[in-house]
Amino acid sequence: MAKKNFLKIAKTCLQLKCPNCGEGKVFEVQADKFLAFPEMHKKCPKCSYRFDREPGYFLGAMFVSYALAVAEGLISFFILKFGFPQLEYFSIACIITVVILFCAISNYKLARVIWINLFP
């Protein structure tokens, strides 16, 4: 039973859906803006579940985002170090920086959804 709940929560997080109903999207779709900062709905469009509890509620999501960035950096390092042993450390550091910056907006959204699911 616990495994089923974990799989449901993981699926909800990866799809950026509401933790309550699992159907409504947490973030607004902005098709007209390519590099726009993602805007979060105040409530779920399907079940009216309130995403923001109080001022500063998403402060903890920064730590989740940091953990995601560290994981991406470590994975990138090991792939580059052992997959391309001829690369110098400076080149590896530059590539890891680009990877982390490239994933920043998706980390922001995923960290918030994970935080909502950790503390419903």
- For residue range 22-47, list pLDDT tens digits in order: 888 998 876 666 667 788 888 998 99
Q: Output the pTM of the full model.
A: 0.82
Separation CA 108–CA 64 (nearest Å): 9
State pLDDT tens for residues 107-117: 999 999 999 98
Helices (H), the chain: 2-14, 61-83, 89-102, 104-118
List the structure tokens of 75.
């994975």
Separation CA 61–CA 68 (nearest Å): 10
Closest CA to 40 of 30, 28, 24: 28
Supply the range of the domain harboring residue 100: 2-118
Mean pLDDT value of segment 79-99: 94
Residues 112/58, Cβ–Cβ less than 8 Å = yes
Q: Tell me the backbone φ, ψ of residue 47, rounded to 5 degrees.
A: -115, 0
Total of domains in the chain? 1
